[in-house]
Amino acid sequence: MPIASRMPDETPGAVLFTSGSSGTPKGVIHTQERLAYKARLMAQVHGLTPDDAILMPAPLAHISGLLNGVTVPGVVSMKTVLMARWDPSNALQMIERERITFMIGPPTFFIGMMSAPDFSAGAVESLRLISSGGAGVTAAFVESASAAFGCVVKRTYGSTEAPTITTSQPGDDPEKARSTDGRPTGAVELRIAPETGELSVRGPELFVGYIGRDDAFDEHGWFRTGDVGRIDDGWLTITGRLKDIIIRAGENIATAEVEGALEAHPSVRHAVAVGVPHRRLGEQVLAFVQLVPDATFDLEECRRWFEAQGVARFKTPERIEVVDDIPMMAAGKPDRAALRQLLLGLSS
């Protein structure tokens, strides 16, 4: 049955706040009708049935927690298992005990489980689908997670304002699911600004505005996401944030590209790139890396790897910091503010 995309009413249903990792949090207004529309649509897109069960580690005050932990399961009549606090070992026990079939979240959740000492193929054998979005979703992550969890792992793109607007669907090309952030779901529209590469979106699942502000949309109903990307044959690939661009000697470097190249290395499990001030160049590239067990990775190996991968020299990190864990925010995004504080401690 096709999903109706016309919204008969705009009654406010929820206010969710953005993470505020790089600015003041904004109150995002969603309506009952738009949330219900999105829940019905995503149940179809993910191919969910009452036999499925989801483990939801994100807070219910986050769009992923509300959509995938409450409204989608309500539409499907499937089981939801909630976590009060993220813990990889606890998550593995819950997956095995509750026979979880579906999970959605940023790579940090799944990297944490793969790195846990009690991870085993048997503990996660019930999983059939993982949908991963947020910063740091790379082709290398999809490959490693698919092998570790033994299930379909696909990429998803969305935000608090525009939840899950692209992903792959059953029957799509697996290579597209691995190498891009998906194709539009339902009636949503995408466009890329030719000057900046910024993605704008409009569609029936978008929020209706911010609390106390009237500048969320342009005169044609387009919402500027702040994300930079490209669209190839209808498939979206996010390459970074406008504010996550490192400018080194006048050259723009997308942190997502640096992180993708790093995570393609067999020793690197997770990476976050940041710009650090430099007197002559303006900024330099610093990368925090979490390694697979018993692996080594240093600046010399990083330079060799980037050259072998054909990455431009100016994009190659000039400093590597190996860390045991990447600090996360509540919703699973890398906490760049915490990493910058860690950097200050390392430099003192």
For residues 222 and 239, give the distance between their C-alpha atoms in angstroms, rounded to a whole number: 20
Say which residues have a Cβ less than 8 Å from residue 23's Cβ, sequence separation at least 6: none
pLDDT of residue 237: 93
- The partner residues of 232 in beta bridges, in order of sequence, read 235
Closest by CA position to 113, among listed 96, 99, 128: 96
pLDDT of residue 136: 62
Residue with tokens 């995004």: 333
**Long-range contacts for 17-23 (Cβ within 8 Å, ≥24 apart)?**
17/61, 17/160, 18/160, 18/161, 19/160, 19/329, 19/330, 19/331, 19/333, 21/329, 21/333, 21/335, 21/336, 21/337, 22/243, 22/336, 22/337
pLDDT of residue 331: 64
Positions of E strands within 101-174: 102-105, 129-132, 152-157, 166-167
For residues 336 and 342, give the distance between their C-alpha atoms in angstroms, rounded to a whole number: 10
For residues 193 and 303, give the distance between their C-alpha atoms in angstroms, rounded to a whole number: 33
**Structure tokens belonging to residue 61:** 């005050």
Q: Model's pTM, two decimal places?
A: 0.74
For residues 299 and 305, give the distance between their C-alpha atoms in angstroms, rounded to a whole number: 10
pLDDT of residue 3: 42
Residues 132, 155 contacting (CB under 8 angstroms) = yes
pLDDT of residue 1: 35
pLDDT of residue 142: 93
For residues 331 and 316, give the distance between their C-alpha atoms in angstroms, rounded to a whole number: 29
Which sequence spans correspond to the domains of the chain?
12-241, 242-347
Residues 197, 239 contacting (CB under 8 angstroms) = yes
Closest by CA position to 310, among listed 260, 243, 248: 260
CA dist list (Å): 120 to 99, 114, 171: 14, 8, 28
What's 242-347's CATH class? alpha beta
Q: What is the CA 117 to chain-centroid distance, rounded? A: 24
CATH architecture of the domain formed by 12-241: 3-Layer(aba) Sandwich (3.40)
For residues 120 and 341, give the distance between their C-alpha atoms in angstroms, rounded to a whole number: 34
pLDDT of residue 137: 81
For residues 217 and 219, give the distance between their C-alpha atoms in angstroms, rounded to a whole number: 7
> Please, what are the averages of pLDDT over each run of 10 residues along the chain (348 residues)?
48 82 76 95 97 94 94 97 93 98 92 93 97 81 94 94 95 91 96 92 95 90 92 91 79 86 94 86 91 94 96 94 85 76 69
Residue type, 22: S
